[in-house]
Structure 1
Amino acid sequence: MQIDNQNFTSVYQDYKQLVYNVALQYVQNTEDAEEVIQDVFVKVYQSLDKFENNSTLKTWIYRITINHSLDFLKKKNSKKYFFIFGRKSDSEPEVNNISTFEHPGIQLENKEDAKILFDVINTLPDNQKTAFILSKIDGLSNPEVAEIMEMTVSSIESLLFRAKKSLQEKLSNKFEEYRKKK
């Protein structure tokens, strides 16, 4: 695709909401999602002239967003690990090890349940997590998920089956703990 400011602006306008929603489902914080958006569109801008139409532009942007979101989480989690005991120096801010859950699509009364659900989703292996989010949260079909993840449809079905089974077990345990506390 020939790159110029008009093409890039069009791509940005067409896909900024999709990128934001996908990033938010991974990072679960609006500021972090906005940071991922910037990284994704810098990558898109730098690579748009190399896009070869082997897949749709939407699929390509999904892949970039997922990869940047996963990389962002890995970097963020490694920083939390190093700062778990406080600041390295007086000039550096202390990083809290508390996960916040901010998703504008979740109504206030459902935020606690949604946080529990996303906390459990975040414990899944990356491939299961990605397949589950794309399929069950974004509502994509298994063939679309397979194209984005560059896998076969049967592999996606297997990932989704394992993800659902794992989520059922983990959520059951979470709610069992919750009931015992009351």
Structure 2
Amino acid sequence: MNSTHDRQICVQGDTGLVLTTDPKPRLRWTAELHERFVDAVTQLGGPDKATPKTIMKVMGVKGLTLYHLKSHLQKFRLGKQPHKDLNDQAVRDASALEFQRDGAATSRIMGHHFNEHINIHHTEGLRTQMEVRRRLNEQLEAHYIYVLWKKVQKHLQMRIDAQGKYMETILDKACRTLAGENVNSQDTRNWSCSRTSSLGR
């Protein structure tokens, strides 16, 4: 028996069989030993046809017991052999890592597209807001001009009316003055009345 790294593990001969030094020695299934086991099971027609006795004969490893083979065959049939577990775990870890990478890449792409989408909507919103503001300013300006024009027109009309009344009063006074000087003259009155009525038209 040669001792390996650990005093609790012993290797028997050239077979690669590794046993612990416990009171009940347990077999450590190395990659090489498991490979020989798989070859034997394959030669015997698969895990369902192979038996621990036939596997022991085909493998020809000294120190291997039916108990070791029975236990390992059961695990192998259930798909729980240690090497498969390690490989499955490695595959799961690799898949998880790839999923994380894909997720991160997808998140970056989605984030980029989302930001572009937000920017487009933001730009369109600003453009629409500016257009609405421009139209509102135009309407307010037009309304302001209209209101101002109406005020100016009303003011001018008031000035025209006041001027007309003022002129009417002046003419009326002038007519009365002329009428007072020529009391006897009937023509002056007629002239004054006709003149006043023509200004009122």
TM range, normalised to the smaller chain? under 0.3
Relative CO higher for 1 or 2, CA cutoff 8 Å, sep ≥ 6? 1
Superposition TM-score, scaled by structure 2 size:
0.19
More strand per residue: 1 or 2?
Answer: 2
